[in-house]
A and B are shown apart, each in its own frame.
Chain A
Amino acid sequence: MLRVLAETEQEAVGSMGDDTPLAVLSAQPRSLYDYFRQAFAQVTNPPIDPLREQCVMSLVTQIGREGNVFEMAPENARQVMLNSPLLSQRKLRQILAMDEFANAHERFRLYFPQGTGLKAALEALAERVEQSVRAGTVIVVLSDLDPQEGDLPIHALLATGAVHQHLVQAGLRCECNLIIETGTARDPHHVACLLGYGATAVYPYLAYQTLLSLGREKVLKPKRSGEVTELGRSYRRGIKKGLLKIISKMGISTIGSYRGARLFEIIGLQREVVDLCFAHTPSRVGGAGFRDLELEAGILMDSALDDSQGLDAGSLLKYRHGGEYHMFNPEVVQTLQRAVMSGNYDDYRQFAHAVNDRPPSTLRDLLALKPAPQALPLSEVESVDTLLKRFDSAGMSLGALSPEAHEALAIAMNRLGGRSNSGEGGEDPARQGTEKSSKIKQVASGRFGVTPEYLIHAEVLQIKVAQGAKPGEGGQLPGHKVNELIARLRYARPGIGLISPPPHHDIYSIEDLAQLIFDLKQINPEALVSVKLVAHAGIGTVVAGVAKAYADMVTISGYDGGTGASPLSSIKYAGTPWEMGLAEARQTLRRNGLRGKVRLQIDGGLKTGLDVVKAALLGADSFGFGTVPMIALGCKYLRICHLNNCATGVATQDERLREQYFTGLPERVMNYFRFVAEETREWLAVLGARSLEEIIGRTDLLRVLEGETAKQRGLDLKPLLSNDALVTDVQHCDAGTRNPPRDPALLAGRMLAAMTPAIEQKTGGEFSFEISNRDRSIGAGLSGVIARHHGNHGMRDKPVYVRLSGNAGQSFGAFNAGGLNLYLEGDANDYVGKGMSDGKIVLRPPSSARYLPRDTPIMGNTCLYGATGGELYAAGRAGERFAVRNSGATAVVEGAGDHCCEYMTGGVVVVLGSTGMNFGAGFTGGLAYVLDLDRHFVDRYNHELIDILRLSPEGMEHHLQHLKRLVTRHVFETDSAWGRTLLTEYRDYVGKFWLVKPKAASLESLIDTLKRAA
């Protein structure tokens, strides 16, 4: 971890999920930080992209006494500003030596004599700090430097929490600063925990010392210069990036808002600990108390003082004999592979035995079934085939998986009657209509490959709000994995990296999610819409909201979900077990009479029939499997997916590996699922149940086990099983259940009735309607019909012209298909042309308008999000995030808000007026022309990935002509007065345009692309 931070200034990246036991279940002493799970935003507020939207992020930290912010006084401004809360040794010394602080700081040792008791020691410490602050101390340094034999350490996090909380209660916290000098903090999560519980700044001395000594031994090579001291600086940069990522997950911009905000969920600490140190943090299941923590501190202290013991190499990230237990250890992987290859149920039993009888590692391992007094004969239990319908494969994208593996999975699921999930990134149209087609199509934040055709070929449309391994974060497909096929499916160029933003830019609230669900139901009325969430405290409310937003299914992922590539701290520290999420969802839905409306699915670490039965008892209707089917296809859990060198050809795009070394067959996956279904039947028989449906939500059939260790015995899992205060008896949701929106979509219905014949017979035509802002997703239904009959582009040559007047509701022209030309006189709300693949959308102000159109918004935010083609002309300004993730549409607007052209990978955008800030962040493909009359554009674009060039007549004739054609077109379609002015005085204005292009693309290549498009 440290080494990667110092050498690359980035956090280490890993793959696959976290398969170690929760800290509280572990038989090993675990770091206190491991009990803390980071909070993240899903649906209720958007996470931020800290890299592309750095302009809104800050780690600036102030040191000094804080005064009343409403008082303008010089003493309130007497503060030391640090650019981050992470101190170097030099900075710490400088601060403590400053005149203000030299006599106003005190160091507190975080050790106590054995026998005092940890709790008493903490209370005494907080008391001493209070006295000191009352006496005038401004900087409180809590330090675990300098251990002495016979003493036990107080963990820095406990001390920080307790002292902070005590000072707040005493009304003294603003009088002082807490600087934590600790050897316990190494990675961004550790630092985030300390800050989240009140630390002002952190000095991780042990990390520096380690780096320095590794540097001196020439093991580490500093990135920037040869200086060993540079390592510490690089390490800090890495940690800072990690911190930004952690706070941005929650949609927080500044470290000041994060400090003391306790944005965590605790799993496995006893109430006494939470109350004294971490009050108001959700902690639902109890766990380790002060005694247990003290015991572990003692064990650590003993082994630290025992020189004959070497340093433990650690075994949290990968399996090591004698180290932490791993749920996908070699035995589990090998027995499973033997079973799926032989097809022999006895071999599977060995695998099931290795899993079901493991040491308690997940919460469900502490729940046992209550067998019925009289088991049923197996023949009376529902068949394997009906059970298989409840099994899905979890979303894994083509990009993470090789095409061979992805197809094998789809074939297997289709043959079994389950459903496979396309994952993000589209699906080859050649697979549609064959057994290689995935029944679940995912709509993720990158919207890669989301076209009308893609959407209508789905039984289930899954909106991936978050991913178990990295909730609240976006993703990045590195350029070397983007080959011809992937580039084609994602409407991008080979070799250029693709970025998925952390949030769906059209989901900033539950209402927005309802809108997206409505859009999807408009374009594909037959499909079920599912929403994938990650378990965390409060998910019940979100799930209830999703049910009220008319989703048909909800998938709840556990923290242990897999990934192709994620920063390690996300894999380890974000999300909670699905058991907790599912229990909360079940309880909230049933308390609110919503359980019959949505089907609940869980995924995350499911392996055996026993897992399935326990999940069903906790309330799940269906089950997603990710990692295990991959292992059935040959994956050996190597955790190198992110390197593209998967030796089993499962998770790589490398030709050699895929062709020669991929040995997976759909039959193996099918064997696996049949085994699981068979085992599920056996457990059902034990429970005396004829079908899975009978036992869904029957938590009374579960018994809480005591646990093997003191920490496990401290857990209280009864809240998970509680079914109190329920208003309905409905425990499950039938397979065919739908959750139809209340909005009858009247205008869309009339339009469909009027135009369907013209579409089906491909006769084209012209139609007119009045529109109001209650008419949402207008055009989506039509595009669905077009795509069903003619595909994305098939009706181009016989378009239907739809003339509308009025104010359009949200998602006007969403998922527009070829041959649908929408003309709107008036204005439109958010999300115009989202997911557009072809056709045309034209917006113009009413002729009666008395305002200046080029200064006036004509459409809302996040228009053309994820568009893959088509044209949009608007005689007016667009809102924020115009053309975000555009990968093919051509658009002309007369002004745009902030973050225009973010994450764009293709297409052309012309802005005939001013833009907001952060133009072109994450822009890796396509081009843009921006008219910059006030010469502020240079300060407004994001410099990371794009170049801007002045258009000059020399050598840029193609671009001059191209721009002129587009403006001419704009004038033709919208009759824009401003456009006409520009054309008349083209020579004068042309020099005021900037051409925006990705740094990675040359001008020549852009011209080639233009020519090919023309």
Chain B
Amino acid sequence: MKPTPFQFIDVPRKQPRELPVAVRVLGWSEIYGGYDPAGAAEQSARCLDCGNPYCSAKCPVHNDIPNWLSLVREGRLFEACDLAHETNPLPEICGRVCPQDRLCEGACTINVGFEAVTIGSVEKYIVDTAVKAGWRPDLSKVKATGRRVAIIGAGPAGLACADRLARAGIEAHVFDRYEQIGGLLTFGIPPFKLEKEVIATRRQLLEGMGVLFHLGVEIGRDVSLESLEADFDAVFVGNGAYRYVDGGLPGQDRPGALPALPFLIANGRAVLGTPEAQNWPIAGWVNPAPTLDVRGKRVVVLGGGDTGMDCVRTAVRLGAAHVTCVYRRDEASMPGSRREVKNARDEGVQFLFQRQPLEILGHADGAGSAVRAVRVVETELPARGAGLTTKAGSETEIAADVVILAFGFRAEQSDWLTAHLPSGDWSADARLEVCRSDSPRSARIPDRLPYQTSRSNVFAGGDAVRGADLVVTAVQDGRDAAASIVQWLRRPV
């Protein structure tokens, strides 16, 4: 059936089937199903193919969305998959974890007045289905250059960088201290958003392209940066931003209170089934991995970003009796994806808005083994640009057995890198300062390519450069840093 120009009105937006709440909280599977070819084609045909593709303009990696939608409509799956990979080395992952409602789908022309095209789900459909049907990246025309590049960190930035380097005929070696690739994709993002098989499939694809992984290797402990520099033509640093933002909350050191990331990583390992999980490190955390015993308990998560949502929903699946999310501002100000808030709410999470945590209270009897409550104060919504103010006398307590702090992350200077890069390369908040591909022209650093540090053979990107940010911006950095590396390696010597 040929779609009419009015498909976007005649056919409503339809996401793939969603697992019912009662079923999904029992396990770790992704809650969204996939399209069948007809469903994907029908939804893709809702795209107007408009003259100003706002979706693509908004997308940090500028996916050629209208064109792959039209390829899906015509059933040209492999070509769609090729096209998706042209701009995005990890499309199936972005299709799952991007906050589309704030990016492409939010910008979609028909998101105003109508409902946006289901871009994320189609992206996921393209790669999942194509790979299942035998699609593989075509590197048959790539000529090996004999160059080798070391990539530190197998997170989205590192993987994206490795993919592009492999396509340019450069041997990419990816080092990571964890036992599996993916970084936060594997350990931070809970499996109900991103099943770990997806990463495993991507690993196979990358290895098929000739990317080599060196896992469980920590730079500065097992290998020195100097030796990498000696062995490789260039080094890409994509080691992320793991240091949690310290709220300085009184009582945050109580045993029942813990930061979000160790909680999520421990759970990730548990789901992954890593043997002797206790022996593996957790970035930004020196204590032993936390136990995940929240069954039947009251869990309070402080913070309303995407990480907060991951925590509350993980807690629900771990059997918590009561899960509450506490956020300082109102719902409209929440920084994360609306979709995740909705999912959390569907799964029974309570939200308390405009509450600023003041203190984590312990048991008065001095048992000291757990927290008792979080003391919060009501806030008033500030005018644009003004800071939050609190309502005097509005303090209350929220009963809690476990408190998870999800105030965000920031980058951290690693000793092995600090020793190598002068202080001018670091920002005040410990980010590596390089010019990015999306930096304004005025921010270009003379004689340096985007993502190049002051040490010309060392490049950096992802959260290490941006501070905690989206997966897709890390992908963008990795991709474009690879382009810089290729260009730099081709320089006349």
Contact = CB atoms under 8 A, between A and B. Distances in A.
Interface of A: 16, 219, 307-308, 310, 313, 317-322, 326, 328-331, 333-334, 636-640, 643-645, 647-648, 654, 656-657, 660-661, 663
B113 A319 contact: no
B56 A333 contact: no
A319 B57 contact: yes
B167 A639 contact: no
A646 B188 CA distance: 43
A330 B57 contact: yes
A639 B62 contact: no
A661 B6 CA distance: 13
Given A318-B51, A636-B52, 17 more contacts: A308-B168, A310-B86, A319-B51, A328-B52, A329-B57, A330-B58, A330-B107, A636-B54, A637-B52, A638-B50, A639-B50, A639-B51, A640-B5, A645-B48, A647-B48, A647-B114, A654-B6
A523 B227 CA distance: 92
A640 B142 contact: no
Contact of A307 (B9, B74, B110, B143): B143
A637 B51 contact: yes
A644 B142 CA distance: 45
A319 B59 CA distance: 14
14 contacts: A16-B51, A219-B74, A308-B142, A313-B67, A317-B51, A320-B56, A321-B56, A330-B53, A636-B50, A638-B48, A640-B49, A640-B51, A654-B6, A661-B114
Interface string B58-77: 10001010010000001010
The 9 A-B pairs with the shortest beta carbon distances in the complex, nearest first, are: A639-B51, A321-B62, A638-B50, A645-B5, A307-B141, A330-B57, A643-B5, A661-B113, A318-B51
Interface in B98-113: 107, 109-110, 113
A334 B52 CA distance: 11
Given A307-B143, A308-B169, A640 B53 contact: no
Nearest to B54: A330
B103 to A, nearest CB: 13
A691 B168 CA distance: 60
Nearest to A329: B52
Contacts of A333: 52
Given A308-B169, A647-B109, A647-B110, A640 B141 contact: no
A441 to B, nearest CB: 30
A307 B6 CA distance: 40
B236 interface: no
Contacts of B113: 647-648, 660-661, 663
B5 A644 contact: yes
A307 B145 CA distance: 13
A638 B54 CA distance: 10
Contacts of A636: 50, 52, 54, 109
Given A636-B50, A647-B110, A656 B56 contact: no
A657 B51 contact: no
Given A307-B141, A307-B143, A219 B76 contact: yes
Contacts of A329: 52, 57
Most buried by A among B6, B110, B114: B6
A626 B114 CA distance: 26
A124 to B, nearest CB: 31
B53 A319 contact: yes
B67 A318 contact: no
A636 B57 CA distance: 14
Contacts of A638: 48, 50-52, 109
A825 B80 CA distance: 75
The residue among B51, B56, B110 with the most chain A CB atoms within 10 A of its own CB is B51
B244 interface: no
Describe B's contact surface by its main secondary structure.
loop
Between A317, A636, A637, the greatest number of chain B beta carbons within 10 A of the residue's beta carbon is seen for A636
A320 B51 contact: no
A638 B76 CA distance: 25
B8 interface: yes
B25 to A, nearest CB: 38
A330 B59 CA distance: 12
Contacts of A308: 141-142, 167-169
Nearest to B76: A219
Chain B CB within 10 A, most for which of A308, A313, A317, A637: A308
Contact of B52 (A330, A644, A657): A330
Contacts of A663: 113
Contacts of A322: 62
B48 A640 contact: yes
Given A647-B8, A647-B113, A657-B9, A307 B142 contact: yes
Contacts of A644: 5
A663 B107 CA distance: 18
Most buried by B among A318, A321, A331: A321
A326 B141 CA distance: 33
Contacts of A643: 5
Contacts of A321: 56-57, 62
A421 to B, nearest CB: 23
A326 B53 CA distance: 12
Nearest to B486: A308
A242 to B, nearest CB: 22
Interface string B1-22: 0000110110000000000000
Contacts of A647: 8, 48, 50, 109-110, 113-114
A794 to B, nearest CB: 42
Q: Chain A CB within 10 Å — which of B6, B9, B52, B58 has the most?
A: B52
A469 to B, nearest CB: 14
A954 B58 CA distance: 69
B141 to A, nearest CB: 4
A674 B117 CA distance: 36
B115 to A, nearest CB: 11
Contacts of B167: 308
A512 B251 CA distance: 92
Contacts of B141: 307-308
B53 A318 contact: yes
Contacts of B9: 656-657
A321 B438 CA distance: 11
A319 B53 CA distance: 7
B385 to A, nearest CB: 14
Nearest to A310: B86
Contacts of A307: 141-143
A663 B113 CA distance: 10
Interface in B21-48: 48
Contacts of B49: 640
Contacts of B76: 219
A123 B143 CA distance: 38
A318 B169 CA distance: 32
A308 B140 CA distance: 10
B380 to A, nearest CB: 25
A334 B107 CA distance: 10
B53 A320 contact: yes
A380 B465 CA distance: 51
B52 A319 contact: yes
Contacts of B50: 318, 636-640, 647
B126 to A, nearest CB: 17
Nearest to A317: B51
Contacts of B114: 647, 661
Given A329-B57, A647-B109, A320 B52 contact: no
Contacts of A330: 52-54, 57-58, 107
B122 to A, nearest CB: 18
Nearest to B169: A308
Interface string B135-146: 000000111000
Nearest to A334: B54
Nearest to A636: B109
Nearest to A19: B51
Nearest to B114: A647
Contact of B6 (A328, A334, A645, A648): A645
A982 to B, nearest CB: 52
A663 to B, nearest CB: 8
